[in-house]
Structure 1
Amino acid sequence: MTNDPFNGASKNIVGNSYSLAASWLVNPAFRLGGWVGYLQASAQDIPNDPSAEIFYYAVNFGFPDLGKKGNLLGFVFGQPPKVISNEFGVIDRNTSLHFEALYRLQVNDNVSITPGAIAIINPDHNSNNDTIFVGTIRTTFQF
């Protein structure tokens, strides 16, 4: 719904997006962060230019240098973008939740490998959708 808050009726959508992100190194072994965002979308090619409001957030926790310098254990919890108000009459009735865990292994100064797992409950903000589980492996090369 968030990708198309006007149910296919508009091909000319304009948006104003506002967000705030923060990260705080509580101590050398713990980082707390997150973000929150709000988007106002307007359909410019539908009579009366209906608008929709979209909201999202996330909180993350990180444990830098866990096990060895450069490693990182991280967790993310949040809500993907959700239509919370819509003059066109289409809103997300349920709420998706995103859970993520990762562990970055610093192989050397130039290479890290990060396995992770993601679970999305109520995908597309629809409780009829099955939970999605995703496993990831990311390799980063820095030169």
Structure 2
Amino acid sequence: MRQLLIPLAAGTIFGAGLTIGGMTDPARVRGFLDLFGAWDPTLAFVMGGAVLVMAIAWTAQRRMLRPAFADAFSLPDRNDLTPRLIGGSALFGIGWGIAGLCPGPGFAALAIAPASAAIFVAAMLAGMLAVRLLEGQG
């Protein structure tokens, strides 16, 4: 049961943070990304808060022998930077700019604006399936 409660609590906190921060509002996200138009800087505070939380987490992680809810840390390194990852990141950014949503806020938006968020989530899942089929993993 504990194996399910920790991810559920983390996901709930993450979704609440996305909603409170305005990341589930596509208009606000597109306004933030529109640097040369009607730029909306409010999401800069959300991102600044995320950077602050991660700085604290990285500092705490360095002092820990092992994670609280796992057997070992699974941390990225520079070997993880592959052309596939960089290309996928570029596609992610383009999609985020067009839709105003990314996967986390897209799922959280299902509770707020289910009709429009469902279109995004369905398209995202179709894209994920297409990649798996193209790479022969499906």
TM-score range, shorter-chain basis?
under 0.3
TM-score (norm 2): 0.25
Q: Rg larger in 1 or in 2?
A: 1
Q: Which has the higher contact order (CA 8 A, sep 6+)?
A: 2
Q: Which has the higher helix share?
A: 2
Q: Which has the higher strand share?
A: 1
TM-score (norm 1): 0.25
